[in-house]
């Protein structure tokens, strides 16, 4: 049973650049949520995708955008990177809304902005 | 502002003891509660979820929920050094299609051999 996968594992970018992170959900899951986890903090919800649409969004600026593809995989894009965007970016997958509530995380992408 | 509060620890227990981790939440209408374990440098791993008042047991783990007190806890029996990790409490936001999970900052548990 394939779990949630994310790529790349690590990434180093310079302020002002743009970055794209990728996620493939667990087998049987069709909903993807993205979280940002700063050091020493709990994950913070960025947004959730289901049926290729953004369904919910947390308190993140428009620099953060996403996409979901027909095969349920997803991308997180961050434009105009700031030093404060350095964090672990986590993707979580789940079954469609109403079927279950459990979310399972991928290994994460560690983003460092210099 | 919906919040989830946890004691950051560290909580230190001897091997074989019961570790008790606590969490309070501010949104009285919350319905779904989760415990994740996160080893240093790794991603969170779902270990327990509970939706109804009372206790839910799974192996050495017991989750306890008291909605009236807005309190959820995790008990780890016969603690092992491999249980040493940060434990994150998460609450699903009321009205969300499926979360939007609100996380606490986590409690760091250390199990001493």
Strand-pair partners of B50: B33
Residue B95 binned pLDDT confidence (cut-offs 50, 70, 90): low
Of B92, B96, B105, the CB nearest to A42: B105
pLDDT > 80? residue B94? no
Of B34, B98, B102, the CB nearest to A31: B98
Q: Does B51 touch chain A (CB under 8 A)?
A: yes
Does B36 contact A105 at a Cβ distance shorter than 8 Å? yes
Q: Does B32 touch chain A (CB under 8 A)?
A: yes
Neighbours of B8 (CB within 10 A): 13
pLDDT > 90? residue B65? yes
Question: What average pLDDT does chain B have?
Answer: 93
pLDDT > 70? residue A1? no
pLDDT > 80? residue A11? yes
Pairing of β A31-37 and β A87-94: antiparallel
User: What SS3 state is found at A85?
Assistant: helix
Distance CA A46, CA A89 (A): 10
Among chain B residues, CA nearest to A94? B98
What pLDDT, on the 0 to 100 scale, is given for residue B30?
Answer: 87
Q: Which of B100, B104, B106, B107 to mutate to test the interface with A (most CBs of A within 10 A)?
A: B100
Residue A96 binned pLDDT confidence (cut-offs 50, 70, 90): confident
Distance CA A67, CA B32 (A): 27
Q: What is the mean pLDDT of residues A74-97?
A: 95
pLDDT > 80? residue A101? yes
Q: Does A53 touch chain B (CB under 8 A)?
A: no
Name the minimum distance, in Å, from the CA of B78 to any CA of chain A.
Answer: 26
What pLDDT, on the 0 to 100 scale, is given for residue B98?
Answer: 52
Of B49, B97, B100, the CB nearest to A58: B100
Does A43 contact B101 at a Cβ distance shorter than 8 Å? yes
Pairing of β B107-112 and β A87-94: unpaired
């Amino acid at each position: 049973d394939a779990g949630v996968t994310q790529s790349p594992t690590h990434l180093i970018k310079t302020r002002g650049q743009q970055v794209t992170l990728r996620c493939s959900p667990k087998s049987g899951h069709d909903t993807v949520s993205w979280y940002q986890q700063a050091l020493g903090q709990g994950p913070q919800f960025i947004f959730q995708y289901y049926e290729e649409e953004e369904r919910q969004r947390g308190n993140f600026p428009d620099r953060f955008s996403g996409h979901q593809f027909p095969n349920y995989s997803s991308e997180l894009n961050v434009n105009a990177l700031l030093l404060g965007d350095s964090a672990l970016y986590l993707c979580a997958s789940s079954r469609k809304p109403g079927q279950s509530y459990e979310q399972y995380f991928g290994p994460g992408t560690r983003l460092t902005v210099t | 502002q919906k919040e989830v509060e946890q004691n950051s620890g560290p909580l230190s227990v001897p091997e074989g003891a019961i570790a008790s981790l606590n969490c309070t939440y501010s949104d009285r209408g919350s319905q779904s509660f989760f415990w994740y374990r996160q080893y240093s440098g790794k991603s969170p791993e779902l270990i327990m979820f509970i939706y109804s008042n009372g206790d839910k047991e799974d192996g050495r783990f017991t989750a306890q929920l008291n909605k009236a007190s807005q309190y959820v806890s995790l008990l780890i029996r016969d603690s092992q050094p491999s249980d040493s990790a940060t434990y994150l409490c998460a609450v699903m936001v009321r009205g969300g299609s499926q979360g939007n999970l609100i996380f606490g900052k986590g409690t760091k548990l250390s199990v001493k051999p």
